[in-house]
Structure 1
Amino acid sequence: MKYYLIAGERSGDFHAASLMQELRQQDPEAEFRFWGGDLMQAEGGEMVRHYQEMAIMGFWEAATSVLKFRGYLKQAQRDLLAWQPDVVILVDYAGFNMRVAKFAKEAGLKVFYYISPKIWAWNQGRVHQVKKVVDRMFVILPFEQEFYQRFDYKVDYIGNPIADTVGEHQKADDFYQRNHLDPERPIIAVLPGSRKQEIEEMLYEMLAILPPFLNYQFIVAGVDNLERNYYAHFERNNVRVLFDQTYDLLAHATAALVTSGTATLETALFRVPQVVCYRTSAVSYAIGKAVIKVPFISLVNLIAGKEVVKELIQGDFNSRNLVIELKKITADEDFIAKQKAGYAEIWQKLGQQKSSKKAAALMVGYLREPKTA
């Protein structure tokens, strides 16, 4: 069968690549065409456009890129009609993918959504549009199943692929030696995000707090979708940048500063005490604050249903607060124990279910179901 996938971000590339691998196990004749990244490309098929060209952060930034997105949308529409896939599989990235879903459905194509758009966070009324244009929804957060049930929409909860990946990770014993790190000083992991605009907002502030923590070494998780020399001006005696080693970094870290996103959950599943950080433009923040309907921004707190990790957002994200909170997660044993107890609850909620394999089996099964008149 022919599978057309669209992932507009780095995390979507990761999840979609795992799904493609499992789809090929279920369907050896699988053909792939996609919008995504290097990980998807490694699984085979033909890439239409790389997600790096589509990475925009914030409501205002997205609004000012309307013409560019409109051009991408028209390209996707033409390409879908020309290729005529058996199914369109959309991976998160709601602003673009919901428009693709509407077009694909009207064109008579089957539409699956893998990793729900975060409509539970803002504009929950969009669930009615989802019901109209998405044939099957596959969700990875336990509370999403409950959310959709409130609107009488049946979805498939397939477990969380991050929990699977973290659970399968093998800690590298040569991490310090391989990266020429000081084995006597504990590590503070710094995860500033994966988009250049995001990193510029976050990393300078995250590294402005070094003097009180000279007994630690700060290790920044660099991403390979940016030029390596971009990070060069952040490196100094107490700061290193490592690429493509985020899980090994978290496996050895004592604490972490993490930009809100998927990385907050990864950090929690590695049981690393963390402070969640987020800042965007003033206009985007004002818009977001007006429309977001959930009490937290981190996946950790959303899944737990309570504050497990401290979130420093917008004006609260400053060096003074960072120092206060980082001292708590490196020196306050009671605070650390409480946070790790919250992490244990999240592990229990998510479990390990081999989600990509489960999703692929369900998708192929649905596609092979006999059509009813």
Structure 2
Amino acid sequence: MHAEPVEHSTPLASSSISSESPSQPRKVKWVLPGSRRSEVRLLLPAMLAAAQILRADGWQVALLKAPTIDQAYLEQIHGALPFPVPVVEGDAYNVIAAADAGVIASGTATLEAALLGCPHVILYRFSFLTYVLIKLVIGRRIMGLPNVILGRSFFPELLQRDVTAGNIVRAVREMAGDREGCLQAVQ
């Protein structure tokens, strides 16, 4: 059997996120709503609502933009926010490696975050028909790549109607800062 390697299209780059207050511990959360317009449309509003709640706790929030999503579309969805959210493009690995927690659309980015030791929450929201087909074909509750590879649910997964700001906040607070546990899980 011949296998052809497939690489993710996101390039490596470098930068960092600074602390808003040097006297307080840095708490950085990043959101990656996906590389498809439908993922962004279905997930970003709940992600940003959760970000607003977490900002009240002193969290910094960055939005990682996939190169496949145009800036105008992103601004359409997040432009009316009552707080600024820095949009980062081309620096995903460094932001993920520096962050205390992440919220990610299901896909290869979840595996990359796990390998970088970043605690994160995996989100899925599909059209109803797609959801029914996936449940029929896959038939299991654990669907995130790192959880499938681990054979257990280590990274929280929120599916369909469970993708709410409250559930995201709760999951982030439970996972945040457990970089060591995350790294041990993927060893």
Normalization by structure 2: what TM-score? 0.81
Give runs of aligned pairs for residues 1-373 of structure 1, distance below 5 A: 112-114=2-4, 172=14, 175-176=16-17, 182=20, 184=22, 185-214=26-55, 215-233=58-76, 234-235=78-79, 236=81, 237-330=83-176, 336=178, 340-346=180-186, 348=187
Percent identical pairs in the alignment equals: 28
Q: Deviations over 1:225-261 (max 9, x none)?
A: 2322222241542422111111111121110001111
- What amino acid is the match of 1:114? E
Give the secondary structure class of the aligned counterpart of 1:114.
coil
Q: What's the CA shift for 1:291?
A: 1.7
SS at match of 1:258: strand
2:31 is paired with a residue of what secondary structure? strand
Query: Over the residues paired in the alignment, what is the CA RMSD in angstroms?
Result: 2.8
> CA shift at 1:219, angstroms?
0.7
Structure 1: segments with no counterpart, 5+ residues: 1-110, 117-160, 349-373
With 208-217 and 263-272 compared, the bigger mean Cα shift is at 208-217
SS for the counterpart of 2:49 is: coil
- SS across alignment from 1:219: strand
Determine if contact 1:217/1:238 at 8 Å carries over to the other structure: no
- Report deviation, 1:183: 6.3
Relative to structure 1, is the Cα distance of residues 227 and 295 closer, same or farther in structure 2, using a 3 angstrom cutoff? closer
Which SS does the other structure have where 2:34 is aligned? coil
Taking structure 1 as reference, are residues 115 and 183 closer, same or farther at Cα in structure 2, changes over 3 Å only? farther
CA distance in 2 between counterparts of 1:253 and 1:304 reads 22
Deviations 1:55-91 (A, max 9, x none): xxxxxxxxxxxxxxxxxxxxxxxxxxxxxxxxxxxxx
Structure 2 CA distance for aligned equivalents of residues 287 and 115 of structure 1: 27
Q: How much does 1:302 deviate?
A: 0.8
The aligned length equals 177
* Aligned mates of 1:203, 1:211 — CA distance in 2: 12
Higher relative contact order, structure no. (Cα contacts within 8 Å, ≥ 6 residues apart):
2
